[in-house]
Amino acid sequence: MKLIINKFPPITQRCEIDLSKKVILFVGKNNSGKTYLSQLIWGIYNIDYSYIKSDIEPIDFFDFTEKKEEYSIILDEILFKKVSKNFTTYLKKYKIKEIFKQDMDVDFEVILDLNKFKSRHEHIFSSYDTVIIERHDSKWILSIKNINEENLDVLNKMIEYAIIWKFINITNTYYLPSTRLFLPSFYKYILRLERDIKEDMLLNFDKVTKDNKHFFASSYTQPFDKLIEKLIFSIEQSIPNRYLKDIENIIEGKISVDKAEEISMVDLSYVHESGQKIPMYLSSSMVNQLSIVYLYFKYWYVPNLNDNFLLLDEPEMNLHPSKKIEVMELLLDFASENKLLIATHSSTLAKSLINYLHLFDLKEKKENMQEFIDKNGLDMNLNINLKSNDIGIYAFNGKTIVSYKRDNDSDIHFGTFTEVEDLQKKQFDYIMEELDSYDS
């Protein structure tokens, strides 16, 4: 699946993102569109049944006037182009406003690539209408049976939805914004403020007009709203998994969840590995920043599903360089079986990823990698099961997006960071050279 962007503020020049990659890395200067685009991608992977209820003109897949027990067709490029066009129309007409809480002047399209199509065996819409997509030889066959829906337009849109859903093949998508630092301590205050505003609106409903109504709207995007909902309603039962131990090692402790049964939202505390329990507002910025990541792996990540998609904005914030590398290794390990998008300004994260990209290339050529690691004293995780071509790196320059890495291309660099670092080194060298001239 590809996302082609012609206009998506501040992006004004045509560019392309390959969404089929396991790892997508966004780098670039501030205000270049990384966060906006990350949330659009979140929306693409959060398609729901509202698609079927939308007024998008359905595609006629079958001639249902001829009554059969089962209908079947071959999925071809022409059908995929039609589905892609309808999906894009739906995103522009409905999803953009849902995600960003306002209309936006945008121009983009989502391309469903038949060659990269993936499918589970079947998807059931109700007890009766069943859409099945299976591979036979080199072709994808779409079948529908047990038809119960009488509205043919709805039935065709259900089939269309099944194709999109199976193409995306992701059921658990989370966006963690860069504003994670204050959330553990203040998310309850956010909720109370939102609640008070809505209550005030209801008490003074006769004073609400189309001109002042926007003052009572949510102050955050839909992905952020969903995260707040999870903090309130979905911290109930932990799900054991191997990543949880890694995040505990990184934060050097655990996040404690306390709740008065049925009468309050949870209180979060940090429990250091020494046993000391500390309120979140007194905990370090590292703990506060990574606590939402901790909660994700403890409560929201679904083990063995292999279709979790985590979108993480600036995972490096407030972290020492060694912790940045540990977090990057955890995320790459996660991406071995799932899907990951990172937006970052960190040269440490970028260089760590470059090292692993080359390590993945080397693993395909060298047999005894552990011996190589030990001999050279390298501290790298060989259990990360990715290939170089699983990763897409995209640089945002304010007007467009440039792919830093193409398939079968090992020449990777991050101009956004290296230009600044090269300038710093140049300044250092000239200053030291001049100081040395005085000493001599």
pLDDT tens for the chain, 440 residues long, are 899 999 998 999 999 999 999 999 999 888 999 999 999 999 999 988 899 989 999 999 988 888 888 889 998 889 999 999 999 999 999 999 999 988 899 999 999 887 766 654 444 454 456 888 888 888 888 888 888 777 888 889 988 998 888 777 787 999 999 877 767 766 666 666 555 655 565 566 666 666 665 555 566 789 988 888 888 778 878 888 889 999 999 999 999 988 765 545 678 899 999 999 999 889 999 999 999 999 999 999 998 766 799 999 999 999 999 999 999 999 999 999 999 999 998 888 888 888 888 888 898 888 899 999 999 999 999 889 898 889 999 989 889 998 875 555 545 555 556 677 778 889 989 898 888 888 76
Same-domain status, 93 and 127: yes
Burial of 112 (0-12, 13-18, 19+ CB in 10 A): buried
- Domain shared by 429 and 313, yes or no: yes
- State the DSSP code for 205: G
Q: Classify 224 as helix, strand or coil.
A: helix
d(CA 355, CA 332): 12
Q: Do 99 and 60 sit in the same domain of this protein?
A: yes
Residue 124's pLDDT is 43
Q: Does 436 share its domain with 375? A: yes
Both tokens assigned to 197: 């505003």
Among 120, 136, 169, where does a domain finish? 169
- Pick the last residue of a domain from 263, 282, 304: 304
Residues 37 and 50 in one domain: no
Residues 169, 123: Cα–Cα separation, whole Å: 11
Asked if residue 270 lies in contact with residue 253, where contact means CB atoms within 8 angstroms, the answer is: yes
Cα–Cα nearest to 112, from 139, 136, 77, 162: 77
Unique residue bearing structure tokens 């205000």: 31
Residues ≥6 apart with Cβ < 8 Å to 178: 35, 313, 314, 317, 343
248 and 352 part of one domain: no
Structure tokens at 14: 């045509």
Residues 355 and 380: beta-carbon distance below 8 Å: yes
List residues bridging with 270 in a β-sheet: 255, 278
- Domain count for the chain, please give it: 3
Please state the length of the chain: 440
Question: Residue 27: enclosing H or E segment and its boundaries?
Answer: strand 23-28
Looking at the structure, tell me whether residues 298 and 312 fall in a common domain: no
- Taking the C-alpha atoms of residue 159 and residue 240, their distance in angstroms, rounded to an integer, is 36
Cβ 273 vs Cβ 282: under 8 Å:
no
- AA identity, residue 393: I
The answer to whether the beta carbons of residues 72 and 142 sit under 8 Å apart is: yes
Does 248 lie in the same domain as 132? Answer: no
Report pLDDT for 123. Answer: 47
Here the contacts of 162-165 (C-beta below 8 Å, separation 24 or greater) are 162/123, 162/125, 162/131, 162/133, 163/75, 163/79, 163/80, 163/83, 163/112, 163/133, 164/47, 164/51, 164/83, 164/87, 164/112, 165/47, 165/123
* Cα 311 from Cα 341, distance rounded (Å): 5
Query: Would you say 405 and 393 are in contact if contact means Cβ atoms under 8 Å apart?
Result: yes
Half-sphere CA count of 36, side-chain side, radius 13 A:
19
Residues 36 and 52 in one domain: no
Torsions phi, psi of 104, nearest 5?
Answer: -135, 140
Pair (158, 182) in one structural domain: no
- Are residues 401 and 298 part of one domain? no
Do 81 and 110 lie in one domain? The reply is yes
Return the structure tokens found at 210.
Answer: 């189309």
Residue 128: which domain range? 46-169
Last-in-domain residue among 280, 304, 328: 304
CATH number reported for the structural domain that contains residue 382 in this entry: 3.40.50
Report yes or no: 272 and 278 within 8 Å, Cβ to Cβ. Answer: yes
Chain CA centroid to CA 174, Å: 6
For residue 235, the model assigns a pLDDT of 84
pLDDT, residue 48, reads: 87
